[in-house]
Amino acid sequence: MAGALFWLAVAGCVVAACSLVGSSVDGYASGAAPASDVDGQAACPASSTTCDGLCVDTASNVQHCGDCPTACKAGEACTAGRCAIACPGGQVACNGLCYELANDLQHCGSCTTQCKAGEVCGNGKCTANCPAGQDNCGGSCANLQTDAKHCGTCTNACGPNDECVGGKCVIACKTQLNQGIADPWGWSWDGLERAATTWDKASAICQAFRGRLPTASELYRVSATQSATVGQTGNTNRLWSIVPYGPLAYIDVRLSDAVSAQTATATSLNYRCVCPPPLPAVYSGLNCNGPAGSACYGVDGENKRHNLDAQDRVALHKAGALWECAFNRGHLATPRLLAEAIQQGIGPGSGLWLHTADEVRYDLDALVHWTTGTGFVYQFTSGGPNSMSWSLTTTFYPFRCVGESYSAGPHPAPVPDEWIGPLGQKSEANDLAAATYLAANDQCWALGGHLPTASELGELVAEGLPNGSGTFLWTSDETGHDGTSFTVAAKSWKGVEPGNIYDNPSNLTWVYKHTGTLPYRCIFYPVDTAYTGPPAASCAGGCTTISLPGASGAKEWIDSFDRAPPATVTVALDTCRKAGGHLASQRDLLDGVRHSLPNGATAPILTSDPQIGTASTMLVGVGTWKNIDTKYDDLYPAYTTWADPATARPYRCVFTNELR
């Protein structure tokens, strides 16, 4: 990838002077042996079974497939708790035969999806034309630079021990592995560990034959507690991964129990090289994390353009989660999106707390978990199931990634001093001059973009955003009240720092929204030109269309009136989702109201932004304005405060053609 391998209220209280007592949750060691519950979090995930003293996923484990005593035969994989043929090279078994779901006309994206006459299959979707960078080879969309069945030309197929690199058939990476073996997702692995060495040397050895070190989640899913297709209980060495932990350490994972940790680069650890199949250019198929062939879950929303991991990834610190999602062409999922997916029906969750892309305080991010999903509430319930909490950004938790299922290309308008990220977002290559919080928001809007959230800025840093000044920059991430006034998160990095640790106090802090100045950078999203907005009936009182300045065509559509009846945040999220949009964030309200969003009724409007400051409970930010008020500045107490998410209040839904 370019530039890198890359915050008090009792029920009904809407003021910043109430107090409740609660606690955050503690960590969970993935793959750990069963133990007592911690703050209501089970020692084993809800999706696991205790087999031989370990938490085992019997849905995918070849040694314990469907139940503890059932082991699959050689050449079989465990899929949905059943032993079935193990397919090579990223192919998936459909009715006993292997297919490449990325571009097979009869099995496009899933075993049961057949493209219509005149359609082609590309990136796992049936469309009229092939995606950019792919050629139509008899209805199968192929990247002629990487597709071994269509290498250089549609008619040129590489041999069984070759692969396609730069449009030419060359000896395959997998032939250079140490007694190579394959996993159900099509990755070829060293069958035996390589001798312990430093991270730099291990990485160089794998790259020498076009392989690489695996990601932490790749190691996790082939471990003895997961699919058991590479790791067994006797593989107790910690193995290097490619995921950074700060500038001088990397994540390691044990294949025996799937426990993840971090180790300094100069330490010697064992490792395995991996040869992955060509990954999609968008967040689909093999980029998603889940069962082979059904790793992606399509999420409702504008044009249904997002895919979410069908299963949790390995427990990591938040910076590692941001990095790994970006590496796979996705983003760390927000709590809002996870709540939408749960309400949509993604199905049972692991019951583990998951990192999300939303800061609730300078050192804490929001956590989400669910088991069945039934009764999920977007609020803190003292660690109860199907709810939310918070923890340090550096604590290891599982997570899920989300991303766009197709490529809209980069943000379509030029940006002064632009830097283009590998996922199509743009930002400035250098800090913009220090300004107030409001002025920074206004300037980003005037340029056609937005002030990024802390997680968005962290993701851009993980992708190689250059020229970090080491100075804290504004973000739009609301982090509650510290006893004096409301705050937002601020982020810093130096130079190019993909391994930035995303931790207080080194490079994550908070600042008051109403005082002082900070430098900043903006974010400019790709634009979905095919999305022309929701039907007027989908908005309350019709849709107010707000166009961003410039030539990008970026727009927002927002309810023209408050929704009735008032609702809790949980209900509001689901109502907006069913309408095809999302519950507005505080940034959405700031942008909308300052640009003439009408019919403000002075009642506090709920947003989706969770916050926690001086007390241990979770609230959400709210905004208030009257009629049309372009002087709305999101500052306490005139325009903004916070509220109990379990208390019914008015709200508005927002829709956008920006890919964010």
DSSP string, 298-358: EEPSGGG-EEEESS----B-HHHHHHHHHHTT-EEPPHHHHHHHHHHT-----S--EEEEE
What average pLDDT does range 381-388 have in this prediction?
Answer: 83
Helix or strand holding residue 390 (H, E): strand 387-392
Q: Is residue 627 in a domain?
A: yes
Q: What is residue 280's DSSP assignment? A: P
Residue 204's H or E segment, with its range, is helix 199-207
Same domain, 552 and 458: no
Q: What is the mean pLDDT of residues 496-520?
A: 95
Mean confidence (pLDDT) of the chain: 90
Please tell me whether residues 466 and 554 are part of one structural domain: no
CA distance 271 to 286: 22
What CATH code is carried by the domain that includes residue 604?
3.10.100
d(CA 488, CA 437): 9
Specify the residue for token string 């008090």: 8
Torsion, Cα of 20, 360, 289, 207 (10° steps) = -140
DSSP string, 409-476: -S-SS--TTEEE-TTS-EEESSPEEEE-HHHHHHHHHHTT-BPPPHHHHHHHHHTT---EESS-EEEE
651 and 540 in a common domain:
yes
* Whole-structure pTM value: 0.90
CB 253 within 8 A of CB 239: yes
Q: Is residue 40 part of a domain?
A: no
Domain with 514, as residue range(s), is: 418-520
- pLDDT band at 74; cut points 50, 70, 90: confident
Q: What is the pLDDT of residues 591-618, one digit of tens each?
A: 999 999 999 998 999 999 999 977 678 9
Is 409 within the bounds of a domain? no
Tell me, yes or no, whether 507 and 548 share the same domain.
no
Give the residue from 153, 174, 195 where a domain finishes. 174
Q: How confident is the model at residue 87 (pLDDT cuts 50, 70, 90)?
A: confident
The two three-digit tokens of residue 332, written as one number: 């760390």
- pLDDT for res 98: 87
638 shares a domain with 571: yes
- Give the CA dihedral 377, 393, 420, 556, nearest 10 degrees: 20
**pLDDT value, residue 498:** 95
- Indicate whether 15 pLDDT > 70: no
Contacts of 617 (CB under 8 A, 6+ apart): 8, 9, 20, 21, 22, 380
Number of domains in the chain: 3
Distance CA 254, CA 625 (A): 54
**What SS3 class is residue 206?**
helix
Q: 């908005």: which residue's tokens? A: 539
Residue 43 inside a domain? The answer is no
- Closest C-alpha to 599, from 636, 563, 574, 552: 563
pLDDT (tens digit, 9 = 90+) per residue, 398-415? 999 999 998 889 999 999
Query: Which residues neighbour 347 within 8 Å (Cβ) at sequence distance 6 or greater?
Result: 373
Query: Which of 168-177, 302-311, 383-392, 408-417 has the lowest average pLDDT?
Result: 383-392
What is the CB neighbour count within 10 angstroms for residue 211?
22
* Domain co-membership, 426 together with 505: yes
At 30 the pLDDT is 35
Tell which of 520, 546, 574 closes a domain: 520
Instruction: Specify if 187 maps to a domain.
Output: no
Rounded distance between C-alpha atoms, residue 289 and residue 401, angstroms = 8
Angle between helices 437-446 and 586-594 (to 10 degrees): 70
Residue 1 is which amino acid? Answer: M
647 shares a domain with 552 = yes
Contact at 8 Å (CB) between 478 and 586? yes
Assess whether pLDDT exceeds 80 at residue 223.
Answer: yes
- 516 and 599 belong to one structural domain: no
Provide the pLDDT for residue 43.
66
**What is the arrangement of strands in the sheet containing 401-404, beginning at the earlier edge strand?**
296-299, 306-309, 401-404, 331-332
In a domain, 320, yes or no: no
In a domain, residue 650? The reply is: yes
pLDDT digits (tens, 9 = 90+) for 300-355: 888 789 999 999 999 999 999 999 999 999 999 999 999 999 999 999 999 999 99
Same domain for 545 and 651, yes or no, is yes
* 164 domain-assigned: yes
Q: Please give the structure tokens belonging to residue 287.
A: 């980029």
Do the Cβ atoms of 190 and 214 come closer than 8 Å?
Answer: no
**One domain for residues 541 and 512:** no
Taking the alpha carbons at both ends of the chain, their separation in whole angstroms is 19
Q: Which of 154, 174, 194 is the last residue of a domain?
A: 174
**How many percent of the chain have pLDDT more than 90?**
76
Query: How far is the C-alpha of 207 from the C-alpha of 326, rounded, in Å?
Result: 20
Same domain, yes or no: 561 and 646: yes
The one-letter amino acid at 104: D
Same domain, 634 and 548: yes
Rounded-to-integer distance, Cα 236 and Cα 83, Å: 26
